[in-house]
Amino acid sequence: MAFLELKNYRKKFGENEVLKGISVSLEKGEVLTIIGSSGGGKTTLLRCMNFLEMPDEGELYLGGEKLFDAAEKKSYSDAEIREKRLHFGLVFQQFNLFPQYTVFKNITLAQTLLAKQDFKRKKEDFAAVCKKAPKEERKKLKAEQKQILDEIKSNQKKSIEEKAENLLSRVGLSDKRDSYPYELSGGQQQRVAIARALALNPDILCFDEPTSALDPELTGEVLKVIKGLKSSDSTMIVVTHEMEFAKNVADRVIFIADGVIEEEGAPQEVFENPKSEKTRAFLRKSLEEVF
């Protein structure tokens, strides 16, 4: 079984069936690009993977284990959904940075909140242990626990900050650490959004047309960053209209039309030797747009 197995995803909005049984499998470290004409269901597919939408049917396996089954979706609690979400990251077309926070805080916020929850849980565990201990030992135990907790807290903070610094340098924005989103260009904002998504170490990072909202001269810097992320342990799914990017960076390409996968394969196959007539028409049209 592949690292990610998406089986027969179906999604309807009212009477409009947007995903008509989509199956995807992806190995660890692979980059999959999804192309397709407008309204084909690409965004919906990514949103279903990130549980922003719930598919009506389908199963998702990650690392060999079943992560999601639409048949059981009613039984998942909010907390369970949140946990499942953390396996995936999503970079939006419109960046969606938090305007009131600096670049640095945008990257660290979610991690800090998660760390706080962990810390609180640990503290409660400790308190429970303390309660069980004999009275005369409690004081000593409490002091020890406090020391451990303080250490955990400062380690958490340090590791979160170090990671954010690292990510900032990876996306080439170390000097923008303390800027606010409105002070950045679109390309820079998108790079921050990428760093923010990476900060939570998602197993799979999804991009929904990460350069569509950018001026043409800014798309290059963002695509370069995404290309730079490619490595044996980062698995990515990129919805894009940038055919060159799809050709050069992707390990595999999927062409989606009207909620079904029309064509799937290595970039050379799909771009140079498409089997389906729809794919051919789409590629012809997207070439025309360029010239």
Partner 1 sequence: MFFGIIGELAVGFLTTLELFALTLVFALPLGLLVSLCTMSKFAPLRVLFKVIVWVVRGTPLMLQLLVIFYGPGLIGLPPLTNRFLAAVIAFVINYACYFSEIYRGGIESISKGQYEAGQVLGMTRSQIFFKVVLLQVVKRILAPMSNEVMTLVKDTSLANTIGVIEILRVAQSINAYYAVNIIIPVLYAGLFYLAFIGILTIVFGRLEKKLNYFKV
List contacts with partner 1 (CB under 8 A).
Answer: 50, 52, 78, 82-83, 85-86, 88-90, 92, 94, 96-101, 109-110, 113-114, 180-182, 196-197, 200
Strands 16-26 and 31-35: unpaired
Please report how close the Cβ of residue 92 comes to partner 1 at its closest, in angstroms. 6
Q: Tell me how far apart the alpha carbons of residues 243 and 290 are, in angstroms, rounded to a whole number.
A: 10
Quote the CA–CA distance of 137 and 259 in Å, as a whole number: 65
Q: Is the Cβ of residue 108 or residue 219 nearer to Mg ion in the bound state?
A: 219
Q: Which does 55 bind (CB under 5 to 8 A by kind): ligand ATP, partner 1, Mg ion, none?
A: none
Token reading at 228: 């730079």
> Per-residue b/e over 78-116, b at no fewer than 16 CB within 10 Å?
eeeeeebbebbbbbbbebebeeeebbbbbbbbbbbeebe
CA atoms within 13 A on the CB side of 119: 17
Question: Is 58 near ligand ATP (CB under 6 A)?
Answer: no
- Region binding ligand ATP by CB under 6 A among candidate stretches 13-21, 130-138, 140-148, 247-255: 13-21
Residue 74 contacts residue 81 (beta carbons within 8 Å): no
**Residue 232 touches which of Mg ion, ligand ATP, partner 1, none (Cβ within 5-8 Å per kind):** none
CB of 53 to ligand ATP, least distance (A): 7
Sheet holding 204-208, edge to edge: 88-91, 204-208, 235-239, 31-35, 252-257, 260-265
Of positions 15, 38, 128, 135, contacts ligand ATP by CB under 6 A = 38
**Residue closer to partner 1 (CB basis): 182 or 291:** 182
- Asked if 111 interacts with Mg ion (CB under 5 A), we say no
- Point out which span in 38-46, 94-102, 119-127, 166-174 binds Mg ion (CB under 5 A): 38-46
Q: What DSSP state is assigned to residue 148?
A: H
Give the residue, chosen from 30, 31, 33, 40, that forms a contact with ligand ATP under the rule CB under 6 A.
Answer: 40
Give the residue, chosen from 18, 32, 41, 43, that forms a contact with Mg ion under the rule CB under 5 A: 43
Q: Please report, as ranges, the residues that interact with ligand ATP according to CB under 6 A.
A: 13, 16, 18, 36, 38-44
